[in-house]
Amino acid sequence: MITSDLSKSPTANTSPQDGRSNRSRALGVGAMIDLVAGGEVAPTAAQVAEAGGMGLRSVFRHFEDMDALYREMTEAIEVEVLPLMLRSLEGASWKERLLTLAERRARIFETIMPFRISATSGAPNAN
């Protein structure tokens, strides 16, 4: 399951600001991930601020808008899921490899589903 541990990914710390700012930015991304993973389809900036233990102003100081926060959340998820997607298939026969592939895809889809739903249903400017 994806949790706020993803906020420690490189994408969460790309700000050219000081370490405290990077930490606040990571808290915002982590809070967003936790909220969506917990079933909140369209978290508000106020919810992100509360869940991250930061002020509402801090959210918008670190993220231009909610779209930017959704983008950083998506990048953090990709960093977590991509290695699983790229791992070689194991198994002596094609049937074993097919089962491995099916199990892996199911795990990936179960992991990303709350974020996919949020991105398509709740994200600002979602299409």
Which residue positions in the chain have pLDDT lower than 50?
A: 4, 6-17, 126-127
Query: For residue 12, what pLDDT is reported?
Result: 42
Half-sphere exposure of 111 (CA within 13 A, CB side): 20
Q: What is the pLDDT of residue 35?
A: 95
Torsion of CA 123, 81, 13, 3, to 10 degrees: 70
